[in-house]
Amino acid sequence: MLIARGKKTENVAEYLLYMWQIEDIIRACNLDIERIQTYIIDGYDQPENIKQEIREWYESLIEMMKQEGITEHGHLQLNKNVIIELTDLHNYLLNSTKESFYSMDYYKVLPLIVELRAKPGGSEAGEIETCMNAMYGLLMLRLQKKEVTKETQAATKLISEFLRLLSSKYKEDKEKGLDL
C-alpha cells in the first residue's frame, strides 16, 4: 500500500509491475489474510495503525480478486484500467505532431512487440500490455535467479526505456496536463 501509493505518482509502469507482483503474492498465500499478515505485514517496520491500514488494503484486494474471479490468474480491473489509461495516452502521443521523440522510441520497440506477440504463448494483449508483460517476465526470471540471455536483456532494456518515457508523460499529464 505504501509502496503502491508512491509508485503510482512517480512511475506508473513500476506501479503496475508492483501491483501485478502483489496479485501473485496474494495468490501464493492462497488469498489468506492471516498468511499475508504473518509473512508480509508483520515484517514492516511501521506503527500498528499503519500495519492495520496495510492489512485492510490487502483484505480489499483479496475481496476484489474473489469478486472479479481472478484468484488463479489475471489482473484486477483497477490495474487493467491503468493499462487502458496508458494505452490511450500512448495513442494520443503517437498522433501528436509535438511528440516526435516519443514516436521514435516507440518505433524502436515496435519490432520487439511484434516478436513477443508472435511467440508461442504470445497473447492478444495490446502493445503497452505486451511491454508490461515482458518487463514482468524479466522480473520473475530475476526473482527466480534464472539466467537472462543477452538478447532478452537488450530487448527489455529498450522496452524499459520506452515505458520510462511513457510513465514520464503520464506523470506530466496527471500533474499539469500535456499539450498534445
pLDDT, tens digit (0-9, with 9 covering 90-100), for 13-40: 999 999 999 999 999 999 999 999 999 9
pLDDT at 58 over 80: yes
C-alpha 87/C-alpha 131 separation (Å) is: 11
SS3 string of 102-121?
Answer: HHHHHHHHHHHHHHHHHCCC
pLDDT for residue 119:
80
**Contact between residue 89 and residue 162 where contact means Cβ atoms under 8 Å apart:** no
First to last CA, the chain: 33
Q: Which has the higher per-residue pLDDT, 119 or 85?
A: 85
Phi, psi dihedrals of residue 169, rounded to the nearest 5°: -65, -35
